């Protein structure tokens, strides 16, 4: 069981800070869901049933602006 001194060391957030944190996480989760929905839609429309990945966006180093 924690002593009163140990309980004082436990960080606590104010009600306002907790509300702001909940709002932040809610917005983050909403953006993540929107991204997942858009990704799913793109895979259905353009992916020919294949999941999209960064492997689809390769770099052709011979055509790179750095070699011009």
Choice between 2 and 36, residue whose per-residue pLDDT is larger: 36
Q: For Cα atoms 33, 38, 42, give the angle at the middle one, nearest 5 degrees.
A: 150
Q: In this prediction, what percent of the chain has a pLDDT beyond 70?
A: 72
**Structure letter (DSSP) for residue 13:** -
Choice between 11 and 3, residue whose per-residue pLDDT is larger: 11
Look at residue 32 and tell me whether its pLDDT is greater than 90: yes
Choice between 35 and 45, residue whose per-residue pLDDT is larger: 35
pTM score of the predicted model = 0.54
- Overall residue count recorded for the chain in this entry: 68
Look at residue 15 and tell me whether its pLDDT is greater than 90: yes
Give the whole-angstrom CA distance, residue 40 versus residue 43. Answer: 5
Q: Which residue has the tokens 């180093």?
A: 61
């Amino acid at each position: 069981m924690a002593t009163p001194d140990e309980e004082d060391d436990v960080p606590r957030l104010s009600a306002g800070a907790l509300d702001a944190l909940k709002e932040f996480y809610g917005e983050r989760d909403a953006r993540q869901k929107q991204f997942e929905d858009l990704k799913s839609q793109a895979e259905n429309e353009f992916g020919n049933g294949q999941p999209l990945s960064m492997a689809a966006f390769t770099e052709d180093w011979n055509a790179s602006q750095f070699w011009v």
